[in-house]
Amino acid sequence: MILREQRSTLLEEVFRTDNGCVYQSDAENCFYIDFGGRAIKFSIGCFFRLKYLVDKINLPDMAANPERSSDVEIISPCACEHCYVLTLAEIVSLKELLAGAKVMLQLNSILKERLYRLVK
């Protein structure tokens, strides 16, 4: 909500969990991910690269590895100005958030196709 108030452009909520929220900006054709106390802007391509990187993390391996370096994971999508340094629990949360957002985006695509484009 803070993010929505900060932005002059209208942001639509795509998906929300207890730990974060993904917004879409129609004016800028991009997404904002509000997670871990930061709201970061992502282009469409960048958003899916981030999702790919998060999904690729082997959570069981991370949990089983006793080394301190495996306590956190640094996620830095190419061509993005920001990076995330996340613990295992945070990765699970981000994964859930991005997966939910993707489903909602696909649902939006299906609705647009079936309800609007076909009848125009």
Q: Which of 29, 37, 60, 69 binds other proteins (CB under 8 A)?
A: 29
Q: Please, which residue, 71 or 113, has the CB nearer to other proteins?
A: 113
What are the structure tokens assigned to 106, written together? 């696909």
Q: Please say whether the beta carbons of 73 and 62 come within 8 A.
A: yes
The residue range among 1-9, 22-30, 33-41, 65-73 that interacts with other proteins, by the rule CB under 8 A, is 22-30
Nearer Cβ to other proteins (29/69): 29
Q: To which H or E segment does residue 30 belong?
A: strand 30-35
What minimum distance in Å lies between the beta carbon of 71 and other proteins?
30
Which run of H or E residues covers position 13?
strand 11-17
Cα dist from 22 to 6, 52, 61, whole Å: 15, 16, 28
Query: Which one of residues 6, 38, 45, 103 is an interface residue with other proteins (CB under 8 A)?
Result: 45
Instruction: Find the helix or strand (DSSP H, E) in which 25 lies.
Output: strand 20-25
Q: How far is the CB of 113 from other proteins (least distance, A)?
A: 7
Footprint (CB under 8 A) of other proteins, residues 50-109: 105-106, 108-109
Q: Which of 40, 45, 37 lies closest to 90 in space, CA to CA?
A: 37
- Residues that bind other proteins in the complex, under the rule CB under 8 A: 12, 14, 24, 26, 29, 31, 44-45, 105-106, 108-109, 112-113
